[in-house]
Chains A and B, each alone.
Chain A
Amino acid sequence: MEYILQPWPWYVSGPLIAFTMLMLVYFGKTFGMSSNLQTLCSIGGAGKYSDYFRFDWKAQRWNLTVVLGAIIGGFLAAQFLSDGSAIELSSETISELNNLGFNEVGQSLLPPEIYSWENVLSVKGLSILVIAGFLVGFGTRYAGGCTSGHAITGLSNLQLPSLIAVIGFFIGGLIMTFFIIPLIFGT
């Protein structure tokens, strides 16, 4: 039990993610979380505005069920399967983020400087979440997949387009992390 409550090392987590993909493939489906964004838009009536949202969303109910499960899994893991230990980040990461004004680095999954209501309900804080979310939604559908669809499933299936997409993920992520995050948070 002790080992379950502690954070899981990469060599346990990575294979379990591969197993998640294997299960979905064995069930005759595929592992791709960002498709659900398209499905939710379609359910919301976006088909009136673009062919992209005109499809039988009911055929995607299985994937929405995976999302529902993922939310429940997040709840179970946080409530019952965690001992509250801090994330063992590298000391470089901690000191860099301290310098950028992050004060509780690794104490919880997400920085309160970005996700606490106090910060979210400011113009800057709200803009950060809205812009970040928009870029994720736009980018992942443009690229036709996200971390699960391209980085895990696509690469596992040796798809060149997925490798190109993952290179894109890193170009964007590196520019954001090295150059833009210091501008947003550094004072």
Chain B
Amino acid sequence: MKFLKFLLVGIFFGIVLVKSEAVSWYRIYEMFKFQSFHMYGIIGSAVFLGILFIWIIKKYKVKSIEGRDIDLAPKDKGAARYILGGTIFGFGWALAGACPGPMYILVGTGVFSMFIVIAAALLGTFTYGLLQKKLPH
């Protein structure tokens, strides 16, 4: 039962991303060509509201559903991994038109060739795991 709430959040997320068209390859292309406000509106309004939510949580010390302190771990310091990893991710995101959330959601919409992208993403993750200590972070 404790997993039910996560299942429901996932279902909600999947529906929102399909209905917003954020899972569409075409929308990602359009975004990177600056030809529509659509994706910028989605990300911008999500971040704007997200900043507000996190600010409220911190200011009023809101507790989690289990009554614990909500502790949002800060990201590790550094720049190389973020700019290099981010750029590599950007190449893949624009080519596949899908990032790690939409990959799964699109399988649900019936695009089974997406399994190839997911398998390749797992291979990429595995490769990163092997090379992690040799890469600049």
Residues of A at the B interface (CB closer than 8 Å) are 4, 7-30, 33-34, 36-38, 40-41, 44, 46, 49-50, 52-53, 61-63, 65-78, 81-82, 87, 89-90, 92-93, 96-97, 105-106, 109-111, 114-117, 120, 126, 128-148, 150-162, 164-178, 180-181, 184
Contact = CB atoms under 8 A, between A and B. Distances in A.
B87 A76 contact: no
Interface of A is mostly: helix
Interface string B33-62: 101111111111111111101100100001
Given A168-B83, A172-B87, 19 more contacts: A13-B19, A33-B100, A36-B100, A50-B129, A66-B10, A70-B108, A71-B10, A73-B14, A120-B116, A130-B120, A132-B120, A133-B92, A137-B125, A138-B88, A145-B75, A150-B75, A156-B46, A164-B83, A165-B83
Given A72-B14, A132-B120, A172-B88, A161 B130 contact: no
Given A49-B129, A115-B113, A133-B117, A146 B89 contact: yes
Interface of B: 3, 5-33, 35-51, 53-54, 57, 62, 64-66, 68, 70, 72-79, 81-101, 103-111, 113-114, 116-130, 132, 135
A160 B11 CA distance: 30
15 contacts: A10-B20, A17-B22, A30-B72, A65-B10, A69-B12, A70-B10, A73-B13, A78-B109, A128-B95, A133-B103, A140-B99, A156-B53, A161-B78, A164-B83, A176-B95
